[in-house]
């Protein structure tokens, strides 16, 4: 422990839990090599339990294919206990050197991290490398902090497409991706999927607030989601993961042959569905090329199965490539149908269609990742120890009829280890593949893997790094753009086990920061995160700030609350100065300002049963001087930042005096910033 880090009060090195007891355990394990049986049995608890019952054959197949480290991993024991197992000490910074993730008080991080919030349904903005969480942006999840799902402005976003605006209580967010122009992040929007409620949302980056949520018709469970890179976004591509009866109106539980799913192209500018493509099998992850011609998706259920055993039956599944130009032409030529009430044109992309190409790959592939040089795309094997690397230009040739066997687009199929899920790129010709079952990241060289596939004796494997534990996605800084800078890699690990202080049965996930700037990957930091982020993106702060102007203070004309401003105008209200109650029958509109430490109205009266809309405008000009408006015993809170207008509508069903008060500490007299609503019985 002879390093500088222990002198830094707020820094705990990766692998050291914040307690003396755990530190002792870590020290004991410090010299243990990564292959040590204790670590193996620790990390594989549960990882293979689900497969063990069904797939003895699968594990054997994996072990046969993946060489040295497979044997020890494949012999899974779900009974191994994590309770007393030591961790593995990670790389420590050299003596006298500050750790690489250290960002001193008052200093700013060099990168933004845009994190999915997983089951929370939000996105989170982090600083990288500190991995400090900056803000949360509620998207699919009602949130009392800012009144998301409570204010009229947020209800307009959340309620779109739902009967009577009755939106669901949350969502399952997975994949945040930023809009691009010519393969570079352009800073306009962040898009994210909701698997639970089959939606795609758009976040305006300048205000970091969700402005549109789109329900996707005709499919169930949007999982993989990516954006068009060229010439711009453009399309947002969304995969329907679960096959469902068509139409799904109460029939065919026992006839899965009649199930289907579709690939959806969304217009990212209008947030409308442009078209859908009917496919064979199912759709998991997706990515697009750098030429604006194709999107490609993995399918792990080519069998069309409805049970685990069914879905694993075939030795091969596939990657399906979508020919965007041909799809657009088919739609234009009217070669589509519509389903039920939906007006979305649906084209047929099943086997034999000129719109698609099905490339057989080893069974149950998962991640789909295009390389930043624009040449290749990789399908990650999951149940195969391989990654299948394919070349976009060969896809051109196949669609042009230059050859018949779709496997002709495969240029490499390196064997990496057990459970390859996702691959990231450093822009220097290397790829970084997460190995879920092995709890490792395999770094491999793309050209060496291609040469090896061509018959040359090359060693494409550069390094394997232990991660803690069971990584899903990994993501390299700018690695999904032409600007891949090969600086940081984050491994988003599903299990954290002994890496943090114990907090009960539900552990945080562990997002580990890895320095990939040198020849060797170096683990730099562990970051506990509220489950389950799945995926992230990392973008230099300067790049983003050069592209967009973050609004420190709201523009009073911002479209986010334009409908509320229009309503005020109809009432003849000047929002920045008027404090006034307007009654229209039993509809009551209460306009007031906020300026620390007072509300423009300190009392107002309504009658029991009135439908009341309170509209508050923050007229403070100072950045960060946010107010809240919380109404006692009514379950209402909303945040109003400088020059923002926010509103809430409720039925005044509880007679009496109800104090409203400011919830954001705005002034020394913040507690005195309050007023009374009288509800007359
Ligand atoms: Cu206040």
Tens-place pLDDT, residues 451-490: 999 999 999 999 999 999 999 999 999 999 999 999 999 9
Question: Which one-letter DSSP state was computed for residue 93?
Answer: P
At residue 7 the predicted structure's pLDDT band, cuts being 50, 70 and 90, is: very low
Entry pTM: 0.89
Secondary element (H or E) of residue 447: helix 446-453
Mean pLDDT over 235-247 rounds to: 95
CA of 632 to the centre of ligand 1 (A): 15
CA of 141 to the centre of ligand 1 (A): 25
Q: Does residue 133 carry a pLDDT above 90?
A: yes
Locate tokens 């490609």: which residue? Answer: 296
CA of 296 to the centre of ligand 1 (A): 50
Mean pLDDT over 248-269 rounds to: 94
Q: Given strand 522-529, what is the order of strands in its sheet?
A: 471-476, 488-493, 509-515, 522-529
In DSSP notation, 368-412 reads: EEE-TTSSEEEEE-TTSSBEEEEEHHHHHHHHTTS-S-GGGGEEE
CA of 592 to the centre of ligand 1 (A): 13
At residue 419 the predicted structure's pLDDT band, cuts being 50, 70 and 90, is: very high
Q: Does residue 293 carry a pLDDT above 60?
A: yes
Q: Does residue 652 carry a pLDDT above 60?
A: yes
Q: Does residue 1 carry a pLDDT above 90?
A: no
Neighbours of 675 (CB within 10 A): 18
CA of 576 to the centre of ligand 1 (A): 16
The tokens of 371 are what? 């390389």
The tokens of 96 are what? 């006298």
At residue 16 the predicted structure's pLDDT band, cuts being 50, 70 and 90, is: low
Q: Report long-range pairs for 327-332 (Cβ below 8 Å, ≥24 apart).
A: 327/265, 327/275, 327/277, 327/355, 328/275, 330/355, 331/274, 331/275
CA of 251 to the centre of ligand 1 (A): 55
Lowest mean pLDDT among 15-24, 196-205, 237-246: 15-24
Mean pLDDT, the chain, rounded, equals: 89
At residue 671 the predicted structure's pLDDT band, cuts being 50, 70 and 90, is: very high
Q: Does residue 48 carry a pLDDT above 60?
A: no
Q: Does residue 360 carry a pLDDT above 70?
A: yes
pLDDT tens digits for 605-636?
999 999 999 999 999 999 999 999 999 999 99
Q: What per-residue confidence (pLDDT) applies to 229?
A: 98
CA of 423 to the centre of ligand 1 (A): 47
Asked whether 433 and 423 are in contact (CB, 8 A), the reply is yes
Mean pLDDT over 308-336 rounds to: 96
Total residues found in the chain within this entry: 681
pLDDT tens digits for 397-414?
999 999 999 999 999 999
pLDDT tens digits for 525-547?
999 999 999 999 999 999 999 98
CA of 127 to the centre of ligand 1 (A): 27
Mean pLDDT over 262-270 rounds to: 98
CA of 660 to the centre of ligand 1 (A): 11
Q: What per-residue confidence (pLDDT) applies to 5?
A: 42
CA of 328 to the centre of ligand 1 (A): 52
CA of 663 to the centre of ligand 1 (A): 7
CA of 393 to the centre of ligand 1 (A): 59
CA of 581 to the centre of ligand 1 (A): 21
Q: Which residues surround ligand 1, an ion (CB under 5 A)?
A: 627, 662, 666, 673
Mean pLDDT over 88-99 rounds to: 62
The tokens of 191 are what? 């898009």
CA of 136 to the centre of ligand 1 (A): 21
Q: Could you say which of 3.40.640.10, 2.60.40.420, 1.20.58.220, 4.10.95.10 is the CATH number of the domain covering 559-680?
A: 2.60.40.420
Q: What per-residue confidence (pLDDT) applies to 305?
A: 93
Q: Spell out the domain ranges in the chain.
A: 4-74, 559-680
CA of 112 to the centre of ligand 1 (A): 29
**Percentage of the chain lying above the pLDDT 90 cut:** 83
Distance CA 80, CA 58 (A): 21
CA of 673 to the centre of ligand 1 (A): 6
- Interior/surface letters 488-499, b for 16+ CB within 10 angstroms, e for the rest: bbbbbbbbbbbb
CA of 626 to the centre of ligand 1 (A): 7
CA of 487 to the centre of ligand 1 (A): 42
CA of 135 to the centre of ligand 1 (A): 20
**Percentage of the chain lying above the pLDDT 70 cut:** 86
Q: What per-residue confidence (pLDDT) applies to 95?
A: 64
Q: Does residue 69 carry a pLDDT above 70?
A: no
């Amino acid at each position: 422990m002879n390093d500088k880090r222990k002198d830094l009060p707020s820094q705990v090195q990766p692998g050291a839990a914040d307690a003396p007891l755990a530190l002792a355990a870590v020290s004991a394990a410090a010299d243990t090599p990564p292959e040590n049986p204790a670590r193996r049995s620790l990390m594989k608890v549960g990882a293979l339990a689900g497969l063990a019952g069904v797939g003895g054959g699968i594990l054997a197949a994996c072990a046969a294919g993946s060489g040295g480290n497979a044997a020890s991993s494949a012999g899974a024991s779900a009974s191994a206990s994590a309770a007393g197992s030591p961790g593995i000490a990670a790389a420590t910074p050299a003596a006298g050197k500050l750790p690489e993730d250290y960002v001193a008080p008052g200093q700013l991080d060099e990168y933004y991290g845009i994190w999915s919030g997983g089951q929370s349904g939000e996105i989170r903005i982090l600083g990288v490398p500190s991995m400090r969480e900056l803000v949360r942006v509620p998207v699919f999840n009602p949130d009392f902090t800012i009144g998301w799902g409570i204010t009229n402005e947020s209800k307009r976003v959340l309620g779109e497409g739902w009967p009577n605006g009755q939106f669901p209580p949350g969502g399952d967010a997975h994949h945040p991706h930023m809009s691009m122009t010519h393969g570079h992040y352009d800073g306009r929007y962040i898009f994210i999927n909701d698997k639970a409620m089959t939606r795609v949302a758009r976040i305006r980056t300048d205000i970091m607030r969700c402005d549109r949520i789109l329900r996707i018709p005709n499919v169930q469970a949007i999982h993989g989601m990516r954006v068009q890179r060229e010439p711009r976004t453009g399309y947002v591509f969304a995969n329907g993961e679960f096959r469902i009866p068509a139409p799904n109106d109460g029939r065919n539980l026992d006839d899965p042959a009649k199930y289907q799913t579709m690939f959806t192209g969304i217009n990212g500018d209008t947030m409308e569905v442009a078209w859908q493509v009917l496919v064979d099998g199912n759709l998991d992850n997706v990515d697009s090329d750098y030429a604006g011609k194709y999107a490609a998706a993995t399918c792990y259920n080519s069998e069309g199965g409805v049970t685990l055993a069914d879905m694993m039956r075939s030795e091969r599944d596939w990657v399906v490539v979508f020919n965007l130009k041909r799809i657009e032409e088919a739609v234009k030529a009217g070669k589509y149908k519509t389903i039920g009430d939906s007006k979305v044109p649906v084209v047929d992309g099943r086997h034999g269609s000129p719109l698609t190409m099905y490339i057989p790959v080893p069974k149950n592939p998962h991640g789909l990742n295009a390389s930043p040089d624009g040449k290749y795309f990789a399908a990650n094997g999951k149940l195969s120890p391989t990654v299948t690397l394919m070349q976009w230009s060969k896809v051109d040739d196949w669609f042009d009829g230059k050859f018949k066997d779709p496997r002709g687009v495969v240029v490499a199929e390196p064997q990496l280890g057990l459970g390859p899920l996702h691959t990231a790129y450093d822009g220097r010709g290397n790829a970084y593949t997460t190995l879920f079952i092995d709890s490792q990241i395999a770094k491999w060289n793309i050209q060496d893997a291609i040469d090896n596939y061509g018959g040359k004796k090359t060693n494409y494997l550069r390094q394997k790094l232990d991660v803690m534990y069971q990584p899903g996605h990994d993501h390299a800084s700018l690695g999904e753009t032409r600007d891949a800078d090969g600086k940081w890699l984050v491994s988003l690990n599903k299990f954290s086990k002994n890496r943090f202080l114990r907090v009960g049965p539900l552990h945080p996930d562990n997002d580990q920061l890895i320095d990939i700037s040198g020849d060797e990957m170096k683990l730099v930091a562990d970051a506990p995160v509220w489950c389950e982020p799945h995926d992230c993106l990392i973008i230099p702060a300067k790049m983003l700030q050069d592209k967009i102007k973050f609004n420190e203070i709201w523009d009073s004309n911002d479209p986010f609350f334009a409908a509320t401003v229009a309503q005020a105008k109809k009432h003849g209200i000047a929002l920045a100065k008027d404090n006034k109650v307007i009654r229209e029958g039993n509809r009551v509109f209460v306009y007031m300002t906020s300026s620390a430490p007072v509300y423009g109205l300190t009392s107002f009266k309504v009658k029991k049963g009135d439908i009341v809309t309170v509209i508050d405008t923050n007229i403070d000009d100072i950045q960060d001087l946010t107010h809240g408006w919380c109404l006692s015993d009514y379950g209402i809170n909303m945040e109003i930042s400088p020059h923002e207008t926010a509103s809430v509508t409720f039925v005044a069903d509880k007679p009496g005096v109800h104090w409203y008060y400011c919830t954001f500490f705005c002034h020394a007299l913040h507690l005195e910033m309050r007023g009374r609503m009288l509800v007359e019985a």
